[in-house]
Structure 1
Amino acid sequence: MTAPLTELDDDTVRSMSIAAVFSDFGGKINSLDFHRKDDLLVTASEDDSVRLYDIANAKLLKTTYHKKHGADRICFTHHPNSFICSSKYNLESTGESLRYLSMYDNRCLRYFKGHTQRVVSLCMSPINDSFMSGSLDHSVRIWDLRVNACQGILRLRGRPAVAYDQQGLVFAVAMEGGAIKLFDSRSYDKGPFDTFLVGGDTAEVCDIKFSNDGKSMLLTTTNNNIYVLDAYAGEKRCGFSLEPSPGTTIEATFTPDGKYALAGSGGGTMHAWNIENRNEVACWSSHIGVPSCLKWAPRRAMFAAASSVLTFWIPNNNGNGSNPRTEYSGADVEPGPQSQPFVLEN
């Protein structure tokens, strides 16, 4: 279904349109993630499901349910069938805020205890078995997949957001007042080596992403402002304000070449900007309400957007890109054969 990634230009980005729709979720999709090297996407939803998709063929491969803990934030490990998933339920009684899940044999491989409130930010190191979580308990915790114990704790004020750069050498932590602190991932115990302030905007940052070349950071705030910062100097390269979405945070994403940024909006639209020119190149109706999850695939000319419906978007090759047409009529794409869903209770 999806083409390998080629060089993107304004016309290609402008031509993006819906190619596949999955609407069988029993609630809002809380998060989604692409595997770095395989054509796979995973979702975590309010219906307690974790779902694995083949993005090259637009097929749902497998579904598991997690009724005891729920499924909130999710990210791939390096293995294509295993994930880190944060819990929604029983945090106070069990302390099991994070789980290392295997989709291959439907097991929880490890529990990670420590956070006392919901995890709102989660990311995996691109180079080793480390991962980070940021929680509403005002802490960021650093973990290793191979051991239960937390490897490091950063205590801070406000809602934290965390991200590794694509080389795994630096990680960023956003905290109260719009401050972004950068740490050397090999010696984070020495404290941050740099601190940026987001140009007078004191709204809390709810999402951070680094561009693939490590030169830029993309920030999304709780009041739906989007900023692109120089990752070395912290200077604001451009910023965009979107319609508010009360009670729902939105997500922004870089294209793999770092030339474009995309974001959802409270009005149910999605926008794309050329970062170098600082101009909007596309505005689409999402067709799914407020798209709270949005990510571009690492190796494909494709992005995924989700609310309580998951959509795959690819370039529309039927035209020249100057007048994009969205061919979605409301019908689901047939997801293909799949096994019965599993229920994982532990």
Structure 2
Amino acid sequence: MPGGQLEREEKISVELTEEVLQCMDVGLIFRDYNCKISSLDFHRTANYLVTASDDESIRLYDVGNATMLKTINSKKYGVDLVCFTPHPTTVIYSSKNGWDESLRLLSLHDNKYLRYFKGHHDRVVSLSLCSRKEWFISGSLDRTVLLWDQRTEKCQGLLRVQGRPAVAYDDQGLVFAIAFEGGYVRMFDARRYEKGPFDIFSVGGDKSETHVVKFSNDGRLMLLTTVDGYIHVLDSFNGTLLSSFKVAPVTGGGTLEASFSPDGMFVISGSGNGSVHAWSVRTGKEVASWTSIESDPPVIKWASGALMFATGSTELSFWTPDLSKLSSMLGTK
């Protein structure tokens, strides 16, 4: 796919439609990675993106200026998952070294650890930060979900789960979800989690291992991905299964990722064969797809409030609408 300059979409008033999605293309590529990108995250308010990769590095990008600001190495601990805190140059990340499963609060500004969060005894496979408070949750292969406050090193709560857990806060920070093998999602009141789930949803026939659970920005929907290549979209209030999308299953230990568009009307996802897909939540149909020379599922996330998403494999790609292609498409109708 061609590289180029990143379009400044905030200056262009374009509504996200199926036609716009079909015209999404790679606007900029960073190819200087030596290993696979394991995680990426957009900051909610600042124009920043952060990545973690298997070369044990964390990289910070200025999205608006299409530049990499800095690289920080984590050779001692490794790095797997990374998430922004509300502060645009502070992140929480998980280790990937097999001997220390602590989470770390890191200042990217001066490369200093601000806090260590110790409690897990196996790899952390899911991490979600509450956007409204200092809380975050982590799910591990040690079959626990731990609840944390960024201001203290000790975990604030522990929940035991079955198999590999996927965790997510809703946008308001009032509810969090834990999904796990068997197609089940437990819903918790963040203020009364110790009382157990207030509801349990089931996606039905898909009993495979869960990879990711996420809420839409308005909190009305959630998506769930599984190793068998399914992306399920549910009503987050009553658990009704609204649609299921199917891609190539995941093999070799990869993770199937998906992300809601900012308006919650579309889902973008990776695939077990490296391709990228876009789906309509309203109709349940695939509206666009893009092939890839990669064979592993990419990490993928939509930017908050922008006509842009990013994918990460052995390179980092920013996707924006090709306006000339869109004009040509609309001109033929």
Bucket of the pairwise TM-score, normalised by the shorter protein: over 0.9
Q: Secondary structure at the match of 1:79?
A: coil
Superposed counterparts of 1:269-288, under 5 Å: 269-288=275-294
Cross-structure match for 2:214: 209
Asked if residue 241 in structure 1 is aligned to residue 246 in structure 2, the reply is: yes
CA deviations 1:20-78 (Å, max 9, x no partner) are: 11111121111111101111110011000000011112111110000000010110001
Which 5+ residue runs of structure 2 have no aligned equivalent? 1-6
Q: Distance in 1 between matches of 2:316 and 2:329?
A: 24
**Is this contact kept in 1: 2:135–2:147, CA < 8 A?**
yes
User: 1:288–1:306: 8 Å Cα contact kept in structure 2?
Assistant: no
Identical counterparts, % of pairs: 50
2:270 aligned with 1:264, yes or no? Answer: yes
Question: Is the contact between residue 15 and residue 322 of structure 1 (CA under 8 Å) also seen in structure 2?
Answer: no
Could you give the per-residue CA deviations for residues 306-332 of structure 1, whole angstroms, max 9, x where no partner exists?
Answer: 1111100000001236769xxxxxxxx
Give, in whole Å, the separation in 1 of the partners of 2:133 and 2:94.
Answer: 20
How far apart in 2 are the matches of 1:14 and 1:224?
Answer: 22
Bigger shift: residues 304-313 or 265-274: 265-274
* Equivalent of 1:194 in 176, 199, 220: 199
TM-score, structure 2 length as denominator?
0.93
- One-letter amino acid of the structure 2 residue matched with residue 292 of structure 1: P
Instruction: Identify the residue that residue 301 of structure 1 maps to in structure 2.
Output: 307
How far the C-alpha of 1:96 sits from its partner, in A, is: 4.8
Shift of 1:279: 1.3
Query: How many angstroms does 1:204 deviate by?
Result: 1.8
Once the two structures are superposed, residues 220-270 of structure 1 have per-residue CA deviations (whole angstroms, 9 ceiling, x without a partner) of: 111111110011111110001111231222201100000001111123321
Q: Which residue of 2 aligns with 1:102?
A: 107
Q: Partner of 2:46 in structure 1?
A: 38
Find the residue that maps to 1:318 and give its secondary structure: helix
Task: Give every structure 1 segment of 4 or more consecutive aligned residues whose post-TM-superposition deviation is greater than 4 Å.
Answer: 321-324
CA contact (8 A) 2:274 2:294 kept: yes
Residue 144 of structure 1 corresponds to 149
| Offset, 1:176 | 2.9
Q: 2:14 and 2:218 mapped to 1: Cα distance?
A: 16
Unmatched 5+ residue regions in structure 1? 325-346
| Residue 232 in structure 1 maps to residue 232 in structure 2 | no
More deviation in 77-86 or 315-324? 315-324
Pair 250,96 (structure 1): closer, same or farther in 2 beyond 3 Å: closer
**Length-normalised TM-score, structure 1:** 0.90
Secondary structure of the equivalent of 1:314? strand
Instruction: Indicate the larger mover: 46-55 or 266-275.
Output: 266-275
Answer whether contact 2:220 2:236 (CA < 8 A) is retained.
yes
Q: 1:220 pairs with 212, 220, 225, which one?
A: 225
Aligned residues: 321
Distance 1:214 1:15, change over 3 A: same
- Highest RCO, 1 vs 2 (Cα 8 Å, sep ≥ 6): 1
Query: Match for 1:183: what amino acid?
Result: F
Note the C-alpha offset of 1:97. 1.7
